[in-house]
Amino acid sequence: MSKATFSPLDLYKILPQTNCRKCHLPSCLAFAAAIVGGSKRLKECPDLDQGRLADFSAKYQSPEAKETNQAEFIDKLQEKMAGLDLAKVAPRIGATIKGETIIINSLGKDFILDHQGNMTSECHIIPWVQAPLLSYITHKSHAEISGSWISFREIKGGIEWQGLFTSRCEEPLRKLADDNPDLLADLITLFMGRAVDWYEADIALILYPLPKIPILICYQAPEDDLQSKLTIFFDACCNTNLHIKSIYTLCAGLVQMFAKIAEHHS
């Protein structure tokens, strides 16, 4: 993060503000100033809330840095791909093999990857799709779909990412559903989803952004003085099948795509 993009006060807002001196400075504000000055690092605060840190990083990290980090992450995943026996991996993750490539279906569209992790599809390849797909294939463990649903914070590492997940995934999707009453129903048709009637909500649907990463979107429309509510749940197998960072990236990317769809239809 560039020192010029935020002030000590910006940093102070995400610190515990207890002046505990565990960082060996007299106050949290002094610690924030030291970070901006380059003599301290955020990780030296032992009581820092990881959710607030994730929100802060998303807000202040430069787009160039984000793109670099994502590119480096994809490079590492592609290196892992080279060492995989794709024929053995495919049945465990709900994929198929064609020649020297592995084919994975995401929301009704096929994505084809070779041993180097190069990807082709009739869809435009963008990082939020590519990184989760590579992460899914190279993940060390895979479980079958359980039919049991858990919240994002119940996934391993989810508590640390909860703040960012709420602000970048659930909240913007709730607002999209408020402004576009037919959007969620349209997603069922557009992306081979299915509606469910066992969850008490105005609409509840299951989508498969990856074969063994089902997500359940539940939306309750606003009524009288009550604000609308939207919650995204995950099959319990997601706890085993994908890293929390990739789950977040996948969901944030989906919401961005849904926003473009809503804009196009409006």
Q: Alpha-carbon distance 3 to 5, whole Å?
A: 6
pLDDT in tens, 177-220: 999 999 999 999 999 999 999 998 999 999 999 999 999 999 99
Q: Alpha-carbon distance 215 to 251, whole Å?
A: 9
In this prediction, residue 4 carries a pLDDT of 41
Q: Is residue 86 within 8 Å of 124, Cβ to Cβ?
A: no
- Neighbour-count burial of 230, counting CB atoms closer than 10 A to its CB (0-12 exposed, 13-18 middle, 19+ buried): buried
Phi, psi of 54 (to 5 degrees): -65, -45
Structure tokens at 173: 């999707």
pLDDT in tens, 124-148: 666 678 889 999 999 999 999 999 9
For residue 118, give every residue at least 6 positions away whose Cβ sits within 8 Å of its Cβ, in sequence order, or none: 78
Task: Tell the residue number behind the tokens 């309750």, with chain if given.
Answer: 220
